[in-house]
A and B are shown apart, each in its own frame.
Chain A
């Protein structure tokens, strides 16, 4: 089941970096959470895109393995 939506919440730290909480949801509404830290000026959107892409690949692999009984 691919990720179909996500939310990103963050809190800014004393040094200007951010503490981020990315919650991703698949077609069934199952939530997957990833937390990460980013310095000021970091391209958070790229990190979000990569995380979702990686999770999609992980979910597809898991689903395939379940289907073929691995």
Chain B
């Protein structure tokens, strides 16, 4: 393994193995670092002029499993990681320049790098590309100072199979129409959208010609600067899923912008314990067919967390293509016959929901010696006649309903007898468009 150094004040003497002999071009060191495990250190406040203000569109090519670390220049050959932040960068601070990072089939780690582009003619930051590549960007600052809405910050823009992890990333945008485009399997921890620059109308999109991955798991992000804008924008060429956990959201946030394709080929978003305030333990999920979110205003009084799940369906769902909540579970410690059920509420009307509008679906292990689940529900039979769902515990068991409401329940349709100990799982399914349903996300027997 070898260390290579890059600094504006280096002598540019091969093999670039000390700060004194540092390369004066980042690509020179990247090319020299040809063995797996090599490290390239670039002086955080001494980026060579040709890299700090690149003359044209520039692709930095990585040639093996290497690491690129922003560092203090010790004068010897030690590496002290120091992030560039907003004072130093690779790219261009005044002119539109596309900056691309390329590694085909390699594992790349970077630390503390700032990539910047500017100008008014669209120029993008393509911060990971290359088929079969695996990227870890630690403490990066992706600075799009370009003011054109056509400029993007992206992880791949082509038919590339990639994984990208970002640790404490900062994303800064130069126009409200810009966004972060992901065509990869991505995991972020921490980080933020900068309050400097412009606030994207919708932060994320997964557009790609032939995506090699369309997921993002992001924990601990500060997205408050988005305000009332959307987290996930319209997706017309991919079917992404975004998981947000313990993130700080904007004041009037929407998880999902209006989707062109009103079905689950569009984007969908999960939000676990995310809020724009000081309320904890909330859950939300949205797709083009509907959404479900924690509601602390109306809830089953005996429920565990003083919150219900509020389902809102769009015009796109139907009995045949319904909206389905995520599954929730309850541990079952008996092997006796039971009919699990979930309490539901219709607020604003005393009319019962029918079994073609709302039903429950349950999953249990009813075959001994197998982990395979079996399913049961109280859904109207295909081409059948709708019937009212059963009455629930009554309005007296709910808090916050308007007084004009209906209390009901959905169940497994018939008794089930678990053959194995473990979780019974349930989800609530809504086949009626444009309605609101409250449920207590607790399986009862």
Contacts and interface: CB of A to CB of B under 8 A. Distances in A.
The answer to whether A and B assemble together is yes
Interface of A: 9, 11-15, 17, 19, 21, 23, 30-39, 42, 44, 46-47, 50-51, 54-55, 58, 62
A65 B312 CA distance: 30
A33 B251 contact: no
B293 A19 contact: yes
A14 B434 contact: no
Interface string B251-283: 111110110100000000000000011110000
Interface stretch (B29-37, B205-213, B294-302, B406-414): B294-302
B314 interface: yes
A58 B295 contact: no
B436 A9 contact: yes
Given A33-B315, A35-B286, A14 B297 contact: yes
Contact of A14 (B201, B260, B296, B314): B296
B291 interface: yes
A18 B279 CA distance: 12
Contacts of A39: 251-252, 276-277
Interface in B308-367: 310, 312-315, 347
A33 B260 CA distance: 12
Interface residues of B, number: 35
A35 B253 CA distance: 9
Pairs of residues from A and B, 9 with the lowest C-beta to C-beta distance, nearest first: A14-B296, A31-B315, A33-B314, A36-B254, A13-B296, A38-B252, A11-B297, A47-B228, A47-B252
Given A13-B296, A37-B249, A42-B228, 20 more contacts: A11-B347, A14-B297, A15-B296, A21-B312, A21-B436, A23-B434, A31-B314, A32-B314, A33-B314, A34-B258, A35-B255, A35-B293, A36-B252, A36-B253, A36-B254, A39-B252, A44-B252, A46-B228, A54-B257, A55-B258
Contacts of B252: 36-39, 42, 44, 47
The interface centre, meaning the residue of A36, A38, A46, A51 with most chain B CB atoms within 10 A of its CB, is: A36
Nearest to B236: A62
Nearest to B299: A14
B111 to A, nearest CB: 36
A42 B290 CA distance: 24
Contacts of B434: 23, 31, 33
A58 B277 contact: no
Given A13-B295, A17-B277, A19-B310, A30 B253 contact: no
Contacts, number: 85
B306 interface: yes
Contacts of A44: 252
B228 A54 contact: no
Interface in B219-268: 228, 234, 249, 251-255, 257-258, 260
Q: Is the interface of B mostly helix, strand, loop or mixed?
A: loop
A31 to B, nearest CB: 4
B228 A36 contact: yes
The interface centre, meaning the residue of B234, B252, B400 with most chain A CB atoms within 10 A of its CB, is: B252
A50 B228 contact: yes
Contacts of B228: 36, 38, 42, 46-47, 50
A55 B296 CA distance: 29
A32 B258 contact: yes
Contacts of A30: 315
B259 to A, nearest CB: 10
Nearest to A44: B252
Nearest to A22: B254
Contacts of A15: 277-279, 296
B254 A58 contact: no
Nearest to A14: B296
Nearest to B310: A19
Contacts of B296: 13-15
A23 B315 CA distance: 9
8 contacts: A11-B400, A31-B433, A35-B286, A36-B252, A39-B276, A42-B252, A47-B228, A50-B228
Contact of B295 (A11, A38, A51): A11
A64 B50 CA distance: 43
Contacts of B315: 30-33
The interface centre, meaning the residue of B228, B260, B291, B306 with most chain A CB atoms within 10 A of its CB, is: B228
Contacts of B276: 17, 37, 39
Contacts of A17: 276-277, 279
B83 to A, nearest CB: 33
